[in-house]
Structure 1
Amino acid sequence: MSSDHQPRIETLASIEKDAEPESIVTIDTAHLSDEEKSLAHTRFEHSLGFWKACQFYYPALIWAGFVNLAVILKGFDGALIGSLVGLAPFNQTYGRLVDGEYAVAPSWLSAFNYASYVGSIPGSLVAGMAYDKFGPRVTLAAVSLGSIGSVFIQFFSETPAVLFVGQLLNGFITSVYPVLANAYISEISPVAVRGVLAAMINLSYVIGQLVASALLKGTSTIDNKWSFRVPFASQWLLPVIILLIVFFCPTPPYWLCKNGRYDDARKTLSHLTVHNALIDNDAHISHIKETLRLEESTNVKMSVIDCFRGTNLRRTMISCQVFNLQALCGNILFINYAVYFFKTAGLNASDAFSMNIGLTCMGFVGTIISYVIISYVGRRTIYLWGSTAISVLVLIIGILGAVPQHNSGPTWAMCSIIVITNLIYDISIGPLCFTVMSEVSAVKLRGTTIALSNITVTIFSIIFTVAIPYALDEHGANWGGKLGFLFAGIGALDSLWCYFCLPETKDRTFEELDFMFQQKVPTRRFREYRIERQNHVSA
């Protein structure tokens, strides 16, 4: 490249806007310093469009999909236990006779649901530390073995107490999967597809929910214990598949560089990209080194305490809150307790399970739609409008719940709006939190920050898991659809937080985000903020 074609890099944020989508920026980096190579790689990343990034990095996409397989178990487990109460053999096994019918006590129903969440708190923290220390392959293999064991306890349980223990252990183990997947995907993804790949985590949740709903619909006609033991046993399949493949999975180059294994990182990049003259793996390694060096300049260490020091406190709070919004918007109600809500609202068991399948199908469709939206619309915009829309919908549910039930019209309307709410959730807040968490966290603290986010959302989820059965139960608070008023009020506060505190992270490299957080850029200036560089990239 001639000297008159060597542009001065002044604004990394504007490179993608200035370049044509298919105009790929390449520079001969053979004689450049690490800092100059890093800048060259940044230009290359910003010049890649979505489809070119998929073409150049399709091996990374495949491995991202593989790691996401495990998250299906988390979604399956979350949807399974809350819906089993609709099965008569389950109620006979774990319930008691009340007014001539078997029913699981509300206290045990809550316990079954929050057991998984309670287990998730230490599980998430262990996941973050294990990822940072041992890497994804060893961690994924270990938890897959543990998952097989915990399902044994659930499968052979005969009392509520034993089932509770099985759920507790399974919650501990399955909480590792989304933490690991989120950290892994963010560290192998090019900028242009990072949002979509991270959002795949939510698709795995939805697939798990859909499989659980369909399986329960199919086994609901079985009039014995196999109606719920078959769904339990089906959880053995994925861990076995994972164990057969996991040790072929490439270790992320960021993780290897954090541990000083630069040669191994170069080899890994060759397994995550296609052999293409346009891809410069040395420049990519230099970019990773510069990102880590930038964090070292602020004394970032790999510990939980460092997540709450300096500018990392802001990053941790954002990461936690974007995940907290999942529970705060009411997803426990319209996902975990959907069947229970449909039945208490007045639907029979068959209609309730059918409606639940429709709900999970809409969630699947919503997640697919979110991939298109995430590619073109900013994270902040999606969050703000998604949170606001969900708040309006649950407010309508509350109003319908307050209407006297003279016929089935309000009941079907409430149940239909629950389905629509789940659609909006899976277009916006559901998948996007995994993208934002991976982007706002510091590289060295990514696993730990994501783990802390899992812990905080779990705490809120436990609160709602315990409270919602009591709020819906006709022998408890008997709120019914009026529960929508609670989530509408919380949702209004969520939307205000999105407006004032959630920065725009779309199309930024980790190095750029590190710099902007260190410079304490105000939330609403993130989108247009320009990073001035005085360096020249020569070729």
Structure 2
Amino acid sequence: MAVPEEAPSEKVAATAALEQSVSTSKELQNKAQLATEHEKSLGFLQALRLYPTAAGWSVYFSLGILMAAFDPQIVGNLFATGAFQKDFGYQFEDGYIISAPWQTGLMMGSPIGQVVGALFAGYPMDWYGRKKTFMACVFATTGLIFLQFFARSLSVLLAGELLGGLVLGCYVVIAPAYASEVCPVAMRGILTAFVNLCFVTGQLIANGVAAGTQKIDNHWAYSTPFAIQWLWPLFIFVGMPFAPESPWWLARKGDYEGAEKALRKLSSSKIDVKSTLAMIIETDRLERAMEAGSTYWDCFKKINRRRTEIACGVYSIQVLSGIYMVGYATYFFQLAGLAGDKAFNMGIGYLALGWVGTVSSWFLLVRYGRRRIYNTGLAILATIMIIVGILDCAPNYINRPAIIWAQSSLMILWNFFFDISIGPVAYVLFCEVSATRVRSRTIAFATAVQATVGVVMTVAIPYMINPDQANMRGKLGFFFGGISFICLIWAYFRIPETKGRTFEELDIMFEREVPTREFKGYVVDLNDSVRDMRDL
């Protein structure tokens, strides 16, 4: 049976619609290509002049990290505070001590909460956006601080740490995701690495507060540090009405008008935001064509599996290298033989040098990229940990203050190299390797994996260092040093160089399964990427 021919007028209309669609698509691709070339041509200072508000709002959203860092750090310091030991601990030899099980429970409250909180954060971030999720978390934190402030028993304090950790885990997902989505390529590395500076700053403030209150002989020695946490929400509430939403999230929701308005808020008047929006739309279209997906399950599809592995690996290595010893730094220095005041001062110096290291990492990121800094830093960290362990084996260790000071100084040096390398670079990498459509889910999953590893370390460390348990002291360096060398082997073969790459280029390179060591020199033709998208 013959099929009736389409009416001539219908053919003309269909042809015209197709031609218009092709024309619109080509125009969008041309604008996206111009925006990509413009971003890649910018240096950091040029980008900062053109996107000053993007830098400012990225820093603003990272303020939540201060709370995520301050809380567990202050609890770790309280284990070395006399009033806290007396009110919550038991008598041991000439003083008081918090038992290892309760130390484990209190330090584990935050990471356990972060496992659940990080995984949960991916949902509201996708449903309601980065801004509304951030606002809800700040309100929740403000209320939960009351539990800690009024706690007069370890069980109530544990409840406060656990519930607070649920919210703190969300900040760790929100801040790097937002920073990576509002900043151009030239600024992305430094502003995602800024998350680590907020961690170090929060820890440094916690150590300073603990050092200032540790001589108080009543409950204000520990109530004051908890009360200080109400300062952070006050600063954040001021800026909330003016904060722009992520243009990438708005574009994925089809709100192109809202995305364009957000881009105008995030850049100077010299930027052609329509071209930037075209680049966002084209990258999203490419990932849709690649079936990158937007759920947790999609993180483990073949197209994303390698990216998820790298994100989880670079973040978990932070814990495996020994960073959880930072929370016990003051306590560790006390057990190593330093007097109370000296131990607290050493703890402050420990983090102060880490702060300097994080700022220094920004200059290295601009010059050397990601892979070389991460791998070199990890090798140095492993070596330092082994040396700390060797020093602990010296005969008559406890009566040789020079060795104790040498160990303590090496721990400070270790923290410097951590914060100049794998500390900040991990945040840069897990933002850059994740596909934009599953970025919040990938970061959330990586955070949950890191927090899970952290739970294991939180359980183990008190039993390894407490004098009434294994009393390993500096021999803990053998443990973390050995693990770090194993992690270095993985990092060498799996971590690619992502410096200077747009998200579209990274999508193409991972889709083509470019070998790790070829990432740095691989050339992606922008026209090829368009053809690839059409072929998918």
Instruction: State whether TM-score is above 0.5.
Output: yes
Q: Specify the alignment match of 1:25 in structure 2.
A: none
Q: Specify the alignment match of 2:215 in structure 1.
A: 221
Separation in structure 1 between the aligned mates of residue 139 and residue 479 of structure 2, nearest angstrom: 40
- Alignment of structure 1 residues 468-483 onto 2, 5 Å: 468-483=461-476
Separation in structure 2 between the aligned mates of residue 245 and residue 151 of structure 1, nearest angstrom: 21
How far apart are 1:532 and its partner, in Å? 3.1
- Structure 1 residues 497, 44: CA separation in 2 closer, same or farther (over 3 Å shift)? same
- Alignment of structure 1 residues 227-238 onto 2, 5 Å: 227-238=221-232
Structure 2 counterpart SS, 1:302: coil
1:307 corresponds, among 299, 322, 336, to 299
Q: Specify the alignment match of 1:137 in structure 2.
A: 131
1:522 maps onto 2:508 in alignment: no
Separation in structure 1 between the aligned mates of residue 306 and residue 180 of structure 2, nearest angstrom: 19
Amino acid across the alignment from 2:366: S
Q: Specify the alignment match of 2:274 in structure 1.
A: 282
1:354 maps onto 2:345 in alignment: yes
- Alignment of structure 1 residues 261-280 onto 2, 5 Å: 261-276=255-270, 279-280=271-272
* Contact map agreement 1:137 1:247 (CA 8 A) in 2: no
Q: Specify the alignment match of 2:253 in structure 1.
A: 259
Q: Specify the alignment match of 2:308 in structure 1.
A: 316
Separation in structure 2 between the aligned mates of residue 315 and residue 222 of structure 1, nearest angstrom: 49
Q: Bigger CA drift: 129-138 or 500-509?
A: 129-138
- Structure 1 residues 226, 518: CA separation in 2 closer, same or farther (over 3 Å shift)? same
2:189 corresponds, among 186, 190, 195, to 195
Structure 2 counterpart SS, 1:33: helix
1:494 maps onto 2:484 in alignment: no
Q: Specify the alignment match of 2:172 in structure 1.
A: 178
Separation in structure 1 between the aligned mates of residue 328 and residue 444 of structure 2, nearest angstrom: 25
Structure 2 counterpart SS, 1:303: coil
* Contact map agreement 1:144 1:240 (CA 8 A) in 2: no
Separation in structure 2 between the aligned mates of residue 164 and residue 199 of structure 1, nearest angstrom: 31
* Contact map agreement 1:202 1:430 (CA 8 A) in 2: yes
Question: What does the per-residue CA deviation read over 1:405-454, in whole Å, with 9 as the maximum and x for residues that have no partner?
Answer: 14111111111100000000000011111111110001010001000010
Higher gyration radius (CA): 2
Separation in structure 2 between the aligned mates of residue 511 and residue 199 of structure 1, nearest angstrom: 21
Question: What does the per-residue CA deviation read over 1:81-139, in whole Å, with 9 as the maximum and x for residues that have no partner?
Answer: 11101111111221123345322111101111011011111100111222111112211
What are structure 1's unaligned runs of at least 5 residues?
A: 1-28
- Alignment of structure 1 residues 114-125 onto 2, 5 Å: 114-125=108-119
1:150 maps onto 2:128 in alignment: no
2:163 corresponds, among 157, 162, 169, to 169
Separation in structure 2 between the aligned mates of residue 97 and residue 221 of structure 1, nearest angstrom: 18
1:337 corresponds, among 307, 324, 328, to 328
* Contact map agreement 1:207 1:364 (CA 8 A) in 2: yes
Amino acid across the alignment from 2:150: F
Question: What does the per-residue CA deviation read over 1:224-246, in whole Å, with 9 as the maximum and x for residues that have no partner?
Answer: 11011100000011113222321
* Contact map agreement 1:127 1:176 (CA 8 A) in 2: yes
- Structure 1 residues 446, 533: CA separation in 2 closer, same or farther (over 3 Å shift)? closer
How far apart are 1:325 and its partner, in Å? 1.0
Q: Specify the alignment match of 1:102 in structure 2.
A: 96
Amino acid across the alignment from 1:47: S
Separation in structure 2 between the aligned mates of residue 402 and residue 260 of structure 1, nearest angstrom: 63
Identity %: 38
- Structure 1 residues 248, 534: CA separation in 2 closer, same or farther (over 3 Å shift)? closer
Amino acid across the alignment from 2:147: I
Structure 2 counterpart SS, 1:503: coil
TM-score by length of 1: 0.92
- Alignment of structure 1 residues 56-75 onto 2, 5 Å: 56-75=50-69
Amino acid across the alignment from 2:378: S
1:456 maps onto 2:449 in alignment: yes
Q: Specify the alignment match of 1:92 in structure 2.
A: 86
- Consecutive aligned runs of 4 or more in structure 1 exceeding 6 Å deviation: none
- Alignment of structure 1 residues 356-435 onto 2, 5 Å: 356-404=347-395, 405=397, 406-435=399-428
* Contact map agreement 1:79 1:209 (CA 8 A) in 2: yes
Structure 2 counterpart SS, 1:175: helix
Separation in structure 1 between the aligned mates of residue 490 and residue 505 of structure 2, nearest angstrom: 23
Amino acid across the alignment from 2:488: S
* Contact map agreement 1:304 1:448 (CA 8 A) in 2: yes
Separation in structure 2 between the aligned mates of residue 312 and residue 229 of structure 1, nearest angstrom: 46
Separation in structure 2 between the aligned mates of residue 68 and residue 167 of structure 1, nearest angstrom: 21
Q: Specify the alignment match of 1:467 in structure 2.
A: 460
Tell me the matched-pair count. 506
Structure 2 counterpart SS, 1:102: strand
Separation in structure 2 between the aligned mates of residue 533 and residue 112 of structure 1, nearest angstrom: 52
- Structure 1 residues 123, 536: CA separation in 2 closer, same or farther (over 3 Å shift)? closer
* Contact map agreement 1:85 1:91 (CA 8 A) in 2: yes
Q: Specify the alignment match of 1:245 in structure 2.
A: 239
What are structure 2's unaligned runs of at least 5 residues?
A: 1-22, 531-536
Amino acid across the alignment from 1:41: A
Aligned residues: CA RMSD: 1.6
Separation in structure 2 between the aligned mates of residue 390 and residue 285 of structure 1, nearest angstrom: 42
How far apart are 1:252 and its partner, in Å? 1.1
Q: Specify the alignment match of 1:43 in structure 2.
A: 37
Separation in structure 1 between the aligned mates of residue 116 and residue 169 of structure 2, nearest angstrom: 9
How far apart are 1:312 and its partner, in Å? 0.3
* Contact map agreement 2:29 2:279 (CA 8 A) in 1: yes
